A and B are shown apart, each in its own frame.
Chain A
Amino acid sequence: MRRLVSDTLVIAERNLIRLPRAPELLLAFTVQPIMFLLLFRYVFGGAISTPGIPYVQFLIPGIIVQNIAFGGFVTALGLNEDVHKGLIDRFRSLPMARAAVLAGRTFSDIVTNSLSVAILLVTGVIIGFSFNTDVLHVIAGIVLLLMFGYAFSWVFAFVGLVASTPESANSVGFIAIFPLTFISSAFVPVASMPSVLQAFAKVNPFTITVNAIRSLWLGLPAGNYVWGAVVWTVVITAVFAPLAVSRYRKQGRA
């Protein structure tokens, strides 16, 4: 167990020290979400009506949830590269804890996700967002966000190990997860969608998590959203972490 923790930290450190050296990755989770935020706030925002609250209040939780789900993308690309460059072979030939490569990978996502949440929140506040609840609720929201992001890191870990190339990992991410984030309450009220989409949007983990964050940060009616989001987070992790680990163990065994 001590070995697992120390090996995980070594791998996480390795993932993080390379980040400032690969500026395109850093750009992906700083500049791109800010661009998205500004586009929705100032271009689409005027055309979207959100009864009861200003659009900027509605938008920030949505865009942060979308962004954190994609934070695991660094894991998909990184693992895929490690597989193809033979680093996974090196790790597997070392007397290190077997789970440490994936645990270190997903752990470093928590660090980068925290950074991107901070950047988006600061940008949000600059363009008019404000919390309507107390510090405890705000922190609870951030913890929930990081948990949700962590669950998606495992989804992306699996994608990164299965995908034949970084490009295909990219397209799987975009085709499977991008629409999910849009058919949810992240950017528009669910009530404005056609009824078929509404039915889907209501059970979509993104809707539930976005609504949970809105209740924690804005004091909107909580319903069962917070618990629902926790359950989704646990379920996604419980499905994809074992899938990714078993795929990692079999890597290269064909």
Chain B
Amino acid sequence: MSSEVPAITVRGLVKSFGEVKALAGVDLDVAAGTVLGLLGPNGAGKTTFVRVLTTLLRADGGTASVLGLDVVADAGELRQRIGLAGQYAAVDENLTGLENLVMVGRLYGMTRGKAKARGMELLDRFDLTDAAKRPVKTYSGGMRRRLDLAAALVAKPPVLFLDEPTTGLDPRSRLGMWDVIEDLVAEGSTVLLTTQYLEEADRLADRIAVIDHGLVIAEGTSDELKDRVGGERLEVRLEDPSDAEPAVQALLPMADEPPKCDGILVTIGVRQRHGIIVEAVRRLSEAGVEVDDLALRRPTLDDVFLTLTGHAVEETTADESPEAAPV
């Protein structure tokens, strides 16, 4: 699996909807056989980006190609090589799981028999065999997403686009979905995955691109990104706000970056997880600071944004608020 040849190449991609610049000049490469996680809040331009690359939407400027095929000039041929799944691609609720997959297979040009065999194979793989002959409207959210992903895989496309594949799923279904996606990745598909969850990108992606206001503001491996964000966060909740200054002083030697203090909440960035809590408790107790609660947490999308852009995540659409990511 060569990582030299980019499977996806994007240069200066621009797309506006009226006044709103959804994409403001995106440059991005995704090497063949790798997974790129496109990380950003709602309204950052992730879905617009996926829609342009899957030929659903025409960009106002710039170029994009998948496997060397231009998204506009070679759209027809390109559609044979890609699969799309996620929050906006869908399955027919009134058909059964198998009927959905057979329909998609035949629309890829397969014979009915071949489409059916492939459909059964995928249902088996995604643990949906028992539900194969039930209408999709009886499926749970997790089962629908798995079927949706199966539909994207019918023609064994070399490049997959997964648009927020776990948004809106409960934590258990999300974990199941991650397992499924990890298997795909292990088989060598090139995957572009959009997500609002740093943890999801961290687990599934080889490289992560952070997108905000239609621009890629950072790109790198998960470790590179975390280094920029400053690793984990130690949060200390104080009994008494007047203890804030002594607490900051006590924790300062452990911190990677200047501690932040917000009323009774003191946050420091730490790189090394090991032994941190014990040391923090010791230092705080020596300083005579009363602690209400103390916890170590991983950086979130908010931390990434705060560090990279200086502002917190701005929700431009409120309808799909991110639920708590599973820990």
**A contacts, CB < 8 Å to B:** 3, 6-7, 10, 13-14, 17-18, 21-22, 85-87, 89-96, 100, 252-254
Contact = CB atoms under 8 A, between A and B. Distances in A.
24 contacts: A10-B106, A14-B92, A18-B95, A86-B90, A87-B90, A87-B91, A87-B92, A89-B56, A89-B89, A90-B84, A90-B89, A90-B90, A90-B151, A92-B56, A93-B56, A94-B104, A94-B108, A95-B77, A95-B80, A96-B108, A252-B56, A252-B57, A253-B58, A254-B17
A92 B52 CA distance: 12
A43 B40 CA distance: 64
Which 9 A-B residue pairings sit nearest by Cβ, starting from the closest? A18-B94, A86-B90, A95-B79, A96-B107, A95-B80, A93-B84, A86-B88, A90-B89, A10-B106
Given A86-B88, A93-B56, A14 B95 contact: yes
Contacts of B57: 252-253
A18 B92 contact: yes
B283 interface: no
Interface centre among A85, A89, A96, A100 (most CB of B within 10 A): A89
A10 B103 CA distance: 7
B109 interface: yes
B177 interface: no
Q: How many residues of B sit at the interface, in one of the four size bands? A: 20 to 34
Contacts of B95: 14, 17-18
Given A10-B107, A21-B135, A94 B92 contact: no
Contacts of A252: 51, 56-57
Contact of B107 (A85, A86, A94): A94
A153 to B, nearest CB: 19
Given A18-B95, A87-B90, A95 B76 contact: yes
Interface of B: 17, 51, 54-58, 76-77, 79-80, 82, 84, 87-95, 99, 103-104, 106-109, 135, 151
A18 B56 CA distance: 26
A252 to B, nearest CB: 6
Contact of A89 (B79, B80, B88, B107): B88
A234 B179 CA distance: 55
Nearest to A90: B89
B99 A17 contact: yes
Contact of A85 (B17, B93, B109): B93
A82 to B, nearest CB: 8
Nearest to B53: A93
A17 B92 CA distance: 11
A89 B109 CA distance: 18
A10 B92 CA distance: 13
Contacts of B76: 95
A86 B109 contact: no
Contacts of A17: 95, 99
Contacts of B51: 89, 252
Nearest to A100: B107
Contacts of A96: 107-108
Contacts of B56: 89, 92-93, 252
Contacts of A90: 84, 89-91, 104, 151
Contact of A93 (B58, B89, B91): B89
Nearest to B76: A95
A90 B107 CA distance: 11
B108 A89 contact: no
Given A85-B90, A95-B76, 12 more contacts: A10-B107, A17-B95, A18-B95, A86-B90, A87-B90, A87-B92, A89-B89, A89-B90, A93-B55, A93-B89, A253-B57, A254-B17
Given A89-B89, A89-B90, A252-B51, A95 B109 contact: yes
Contacts of A89: 51, 56, 84, 88-90
B79 A94 contact: yes
A92 B84 CA distance: 10
Interface centre among A18, A94, A100, A253 (most CB of B within 10 A): A94
Contacts of B79: 93-95
Contacts of B109: 3, 95
A7 B90 contact: no
A10 B154 CA distance: 16
Contacts of A254: 17
B99 A93 contact: no
Contacts of A100: 107
A89 B57 CA distance: 10
B107 A7 contact: yes
Contacts of A18: 92, 94-95
A208 B47 CA distance: 49
A93 B54 contact: yes
A17 B93 CA distance: 12
Contacts of A14: 92, 95, 99, 103
Nearest to B148: A90
A92 B55 contact: yes
A86 B106 contact: no
Contacts of A92: 55-56
B90 A21 contact: no
Contacts of B135: 21
A102 to B, nearest CB: 14
A81 to B, nearest CB: 9
